[in-house]
Amino acid sequence: MLKAWTRIDVDKEDSLCTVSTSHKDNSASARGLTPAASSRPSTSTSTSQSSSARQTLPSPLPRRQPVPSCNTCLNPIRGSLPIKPNCSHTFCDPCAREHFTRATTNESLYPPSCCGKPIPFVRVFHCLTSSERTRFRRAQLEFASTDRTYCSNLCCGVFIQSGKELAVCPFCKSRSCGHCKRAEHPDIDCPEDTQLQKVLRLAERKGWKRCPRCRTMVEMRSGCYHITCKCSAEWCYLCSAPWKTCACSQWQEANLLTPRVVDRRIVRNSRVDPDGCQHSRKWWREQGRNSYTCAFCGETMYWYILSCRGTNCGILACRDCRGYFPLRL
């Protein structure tokens, strides 16, 4: 029995493999084989075994990714994606939800931010319920408003997005003044309304009156003192009393004509023609130019105008001013 010791390399580590082979002394010597030559088949066998062993070695495990942790509760975030604000920090869903709900009721925490940068609302939209989203949007309007109006009902007191003279609560339907923030006072002028106070001072200088029902400012330019407001109220322009309940005069003759008619009369009476034409003869219609100007009222006529055919006259007048001169045949 011959034993051949062969050193083979398996995974770059030295190991000894013992291969037992049986040869007859007479056959080995007859063939002229040396012990080293007779051990070659055993060497190839051990090499194939090492190759199969190398192929069955396990592959290296992939590198494990670090699990992000919440910067508020310091717990690892598992089961959902972390919420990333505009900085390098991360939040879990419960902490982000609490961050936004607390900012809804506490203005000092609004807007929800991290590292001085606001957290976008769209990144925590999935964490909030529908009622929490509604309350946060309402808080956005309230905290961003510079002129806030709250319900005048002490049992309600919610924020009202008004920006107008009258604010109506969407919950209890109470009506509040947008200027003094108190209950509505339609029959009393608000002392906090600075624009209204300026108009009242101007109306006092101009002699304007206010409707006793709807408080609308009215200016009478011509006509009688009987005023019919757009709210259908009828009252006296002089004393603001209901119509026909006072002893004021109903009109003044100078106010019965419109200012435009009075101006036309003044121009017509003050105009003295050198030839003494009374403009009572025939008037001819002139057209063909781009525009004409009336000599009495100054209006521009684009289609046609009337021309006096008196001796050496030819004055131009519009149709309205022509009616003031009697036609003499």
Tens-place pLDDT, residues 230-250: 788 898 988 888 988 888 887
Q: pLDDT band for 35, please (50, 70, 90 cuts).
A: very low
Show the 3-state SS of 71-129. CCCCCECCCCCCECCCCCCCECHHHHHHHHHHHHHCHHHCCCEECCEECCHHHCHHHCC
Tens-place pLDDT, residues 163-218: 677 888 888 888 888 778 778 887 777 777 777 788 888 888 888 888 888 778 88
Look at 162 and 154; give whichever has higher pLDDT.
154
pLDDT, the chain, mean: 74
End-to-end CA distance of the chain: 166
Q: Which residues contact 218 (CB under 8 A, 6 or more apart)?
A: 208, 209, 210, 211, 227, 229, 237
Percent of the chain predicted with pLDDT > 70: 68
Q: Identify any residues that bridge with 20 across adjacent strands, giving them in sequence order.
A: 3
33 pLDDT above the threshold of 60: no
32 pLDDT above the threshold of 80: no
Geometric angle at alpha carbon 230, from 224 and 233, rounded to 5°: 70
138 pLDDT above the threshold of 80: yes
pLDDT at res. 89: 87
CA–CA separation, 69 vs 95, rounded Å? 12
32: left (phi over 0), alpha (psi -120 to 50) or beta: left
Q: pLDDT band for 5, please (50, 70, 90 cuts).
A: very low
Look at 60 and 220; give whichever has higher pLDDT.
220
CA–CA separation, 272 vs 268, rounded Å? 8
Lowest mean pLDDT among 152-156, 262-266, 302-306: 262-266
- DSSP tag of 65: P
pLDDT at res. 51: 54
CA 124 to chain centre: 21
Tens-place pLDDT, residues 287-313: 877 788 888 777 888 888 888 876 667
Place of tokens 């990333």: 84
Q: Tell me the range of 71-75, 123-127, 213-217 where mean pLDDT is highest.
A: 123-127
What Å distances lie between residue 283 and 280, 299, 313, CA to CA?
Answer: 8, 18, 11
Tens-place pLDDT, residues 89-123: 888 888 888 889 998 988 888 888 888 888 888 88
144 pLDDT above the threshold of 80: yes
**Domain parsing of the chain, residue ranges:** 2-44, 93-144, 197-255, 273-322
CA–CA separation, 182 vs 150, rounded Å? 9
Cis peptide before 111 (omega within 30 of 0): yes
CA–CA separation, 229 vs 178, rounded Å? 25
CA 251 to chain centre: 53
Q: pLDDT band for 133, please (50, 70, 90 cuts).
A: very high
- DSSP per position, 195-245: HHHHHHHHHHHHT-EE-TTT--EE---SS-SEEE-TTS-EEETTT-PBTTS
Q: What CATH class is the domain 273-322?
A: alpha beta
Q: Which of 279, 280, 287 is nearest to 305 (CA)?
A: 287
pLDDT at res. 229: 86
Residue type at 191 in one-letter notation = P
